[in-house]
Amino acid sequence: MQWIKFAGCLLAVALIAPTWGQPEGRGQGAQKPPFPTVSLPEHARGQRAIELLGARLPEVAAWYGKLSR
């Protein structure tokens, strides 16, 4: 009898788990906006990319679901 309870709990977790990582509003017909149009003068990573993005950083960060601090 206990294995039935365990199997039921396991099934419930398996059905709910895929939704844990989804941000609010996603998966319910909400569309992600297009990536901001950005043209950088050079290929850059890390701090240099942040510097080159300048005032566009908050827009790009928001697209990734992050905050620009």
Q: Tens digits of per-residue pLDDT, 2-45?
A: 767 666 656 666 666 666 666 655 555 678 889 999 999 999 99
- Contacts of residue 32, defined as CB under 8 A and 6 or more positions apart, other chains included, come to 26, 63
**What is the Cα–Cα distance from 53 to 8, expressed in whole angstroms?**
50
pLDDT for 59: 93
Burial class (CB in 10 A: 0-12, 13-18, 19+), 67: exposed
> In angstroms, what is the C-alpha Rg of the chain?
20
The whole-angstrom distance between residue 32's C-alpha and the CA centroid of its chain comes to: 10
